[in-house]
Amino acid sequence: MSEFSTLLVTEENGVAVVTINRPKALNALNSTVLDELSVAFDELAVNDSAKVIILIGSGDKAFVAGADITQMKDMNVIEGKLFAEKGQHVFTKIEQFPKPVIAAVHGFALGGGCEIAMACDIRVASDAAKFGQPEVGLGIIPGFGGTQRLARLVGRGMAKLLIYTADIIDAPEALRIGLVQKVVAPEALLAEAQAIAKRILKKSTIAVNLAKDAINRGMEMDIPNAMQYEAYIFGTCFASEDQTEGMTAFVEKRKPAFSGVFAKK
């Protein structure tokens, strides 16, 4: 991996942990963080040993407290648009990343912090985490995909309530509205994300990654096209050794040993 000034990336037993590391600024996303995230995910995409990614923030206060307000303060119209596009590009890269990405949120996930968490596949939160889209209080709107992903995740009405009021909600409320999938004690957060990663790693990597693609792309299609796409992806699974192994193991009443290899039959 490259050396980064605002990120730490470690990898162990198939799980890469990407830490956004600007604790003094509550891990606010400036251009450097966005550029480095883009490079880190490009490198992890072609790193065969990293099969699941966990995204966290450093320090004990914040996952990510948003886009960097100091950097945005004096932007003009063009610079604002370009900054939004830069963030959107990186978050879409995470959303479409060919492997599962889990956000482990321990503190503030505000603005761009909530938005980057929403670009991940699964969100696990500590019971001390706080979520919100406070942008309208700064005279802007969410610009790293928040108006779109929040509405798709929690529904239009709840997204509008949160975005119009800039209300900050706690982890149990985030769980209730479906913004996060699990809430655990702060000290159990990383272990919970690792445990989910471990359960995913026991399954066919090919099938898991294809399921991600089918869910993501299908959600953007109408139902007949989405079903057709699912059928194609389902068929593609039958070109993998994992499918042969998974079903043979079932019939032989043993645990499968997946290779993660595509093999033409």
The residue ranges that bind ligand CAA (CB under 6 A) are 25-26, 28, 65-70, 87, 108, 110-112, 115, 134-135, 138, 140, 142-144, 146
115 is catalytic: yes
Active-site residue identified among 135, 173, 230, 252: 135
Q: Which candidate, 117, 125, 30, places its Cα nearest to that of 133? A: 117
Active-site residue identified among 11, 85, 95, 115: 115
CB of 262 to ligand CAA, least distance (A): 38
135 is catalytic: yes
Dihedral pair phi/psi, residue 4, rounded to 5°: -120, 150
CB of 264 to ligand CAA, least distance (A): 45
CB of 33 to ligand CAA, least distance (A): 11
Backbone CA torsion sign across 148, 152, 153, 156: positive
Are the CB atoms for 7 and 57 separated by under 8 Å?
no
CB of 82 to ligand CAA, least distance (A): 12
The residues, ordered by sequence, that sit 6+ positions from 1 with a Cβ below 8 Å of its Cβ are 9, 11, 40, 43, 44, 47
**Toward ligand CAA, which CB reaches closer, 94 or 200?**
94
**Toward ligand CAA, which CB reaches closer, 99 or 149?**
149
Element housing 226 (H / E): helix 223-237
Residues recognised as catalytic: 115, 135
